[in-house]
Structure 1
């Protein structure tokens, strides 16, 4: 008997068994009948019966049901068995649902890059796969899904849209938090990731240009907590270089033999690569706070802290001819830099400029121009040598939730910063908090000259919270990380400098007039003295402020 005849005979015999099963009462145990059918069909990887035939026949596994989608006993292909003694719940179909009653959902966005000194920088994200319920229609109950998200609470279907920046690499640690078994049945007759427990997953960025080890190879699957993995799995974290042209991609599960069921379960989401869209109309910065720059600096965006000022020139004549409106946007999360992302429709928009076409009265020549040189202020090198080096440490929640202290002290505690009037000091300001703080000193002018990453940050912060002493906690062994230069547009004498978290910022402080390197023409040593503080207002009010007393 040839293979085709064997297949046909097996199918006919199986059909007889299935029909016989369907004529019985639902209370009968059909597992043995199903086992008989599958044994007859020999539905295994080496079966003579094509896997699609096994899948079709499996519709009658339970021995009852209906092919009519309107029937409340309709049994779709390959639905899992109901619990013993229980009937299958009714299956909703689109024929029974009212159309156009649900608003279009707003899928969450995750920014795939950071902002440092106004420029996009690489970051690392952690995105998990979770099992939860999702309501797909007003009249349907929530149904189990597998979804992507940064937490179980925030996971969505589809998953969050990752917005990456062209040319800025993004690292993502993909975590599997899925249960021991899949929520959908899958065909065991096709090659499938062979985990002994758990749902195998691996993420593929569809359309992405990246090295093979980050491609989400079908054999690079892994289960919950990386307990098991496939033959080509090598790493927990994937790095996407985002070197291709801007465009719309998507990411989804790609585990061997499970792609269709895992995507149907919900493991898919968008990935957008954007380019810098506002670079066609830059800012020309000519000054900051109370000082001009030594020369103009052109930038595409600015990081502006509370109480900070930039003098900028915007040339609207450089707009494309067809453009009539341009918006100033805010992309800074709050607290900066690791807080809540801005809403593009709310705090993400600052103002709109409506550019009018030229009229006949505008034919007069435009003689305005960007100044070639700014006012020459004294450089740091031109100042007298620094007389003192001080270590200023920013804490949060040091003695009570919500408080923010400088050097672990309050405003009413005795003054500890007592520079001599007319001198120059070096302040090493260490930020142990998670926020970027704009530091403001009354009377003084100052400029940041470099920012040094604190290595072993958690150990150093723990020690400082106990001892509040940089020598005891070996600052010299921790302030050895990468040095970040000060942005060109901030290289001037300032009234507020930004202090990034986990960095030691080196600040030159002049207690004199920097225009001419002369002492103040008044007595700056009288009572009640001055203060210095963070200029985020609620931080200042929550004790991130200290006295500053100048001495003769």
Structure 2
């Protein structure tokens, strides 16, 4: 996608129509930075937080009316939780939302047919945590905990943070309704810091900033638009969509914002919090930047890039050096799309240098502590990604030819190393997420799809393809490519219990591309 002229002001005499992104001027609002959550008190030496889900009004753009959203602590995105490695905290997630949803609910989906209409459960994405605090889809609860799901165990979650420093995020995960609750605004950042990171001279404080990217669409009155029906129309209304693509880009809650920066190095923690869309990010005319971290924390060494692909739920941390760009304005683009959704935000290098930039881009970041080798795996699982028509002739996404409520088949044993091979039989890539653990991507390998569909045999048609440089760190979400067998390796070390694995396209996760996983003790 070439650099193109971008509208920054409204044409004279025109009026903003939120349903028409062509009328919404770009780079008008300053990029907001989510506030940091503060604990209320200590319980047995551990910080205790209460974060309440509320309906609130949010202004996505200064020329648009305020929009009804749902936010953690009445904010969108929610407040950022910051902790240190191995620092245990307690969080009570409280539901004070209305009893009626303002987005269209498909009541044919599991968990959506009966009361309560509004149910929530918060999942800390990427966390090594006991299952009772993981945010299991059926551990949902309604307003004031009046009703709870069948796996609900506790009101107060404990996060032990026994893992590398990393950018995690929290979001709703309630069965059959995740796509709506996250789209409504229930998402926020969770940052773990560790000693290794603190010793590095990375940009910090005001120069260490989050970029939470989502796509949204709006109605003429400024309210959020989410489609009600599939195409062709299903015989039921509302009906789940197989995907959602918005027509405006939102960063930290603002449509096409701008960020004024100093001529120095900045660290950006990027989260793709969109329902469906994957992005390939580019800055300005394709100038270089450095990736320093993936989902699970620091890479072994920085990776110099000019574009950065990022899947739904993926996180990536980059350093951009603006020191030689004084006075320049650089647009962050999404090269996957043209037009309005090909534009994310703009960096304006217009602030004076506050003080000498002493930050560095280290030659090495994290010693490679991975001893996981494919040949040493205790178990290899072959897992298909496919679809079938449901009773209304809608596409129902499935994992390993099973639905959510089918008996659990993935039962990793504590202490075992497993390789999971995602066999994508569809014509669309899927971001696959596994709860509890971080994994390493081994490789992708092309295979004969027709042969596999005939007799289930994997006939490879080419050699293994090494993971891209930007995905060689610890990951919890991996892109399972079209026509490929995508292999990941992980070791289960603690926390037996009930977890899940699923596609992180939220419309797929809700129907029915999610499966239970039971981590068990060795007998």
TM-score interval, smaller chain: 0.3 to 0.5
TM-score normalised over the length of structure 2 = 0.43
Structure of greater Rg: 1
Q: TM-score, length-normalised on structure 1?
A: 0.41
- Normalized per residue, which structure has more helix? 1
The one of the two structures with greater contact order (alpha-carbon pairs below 8 A, sep at least 6) is 2
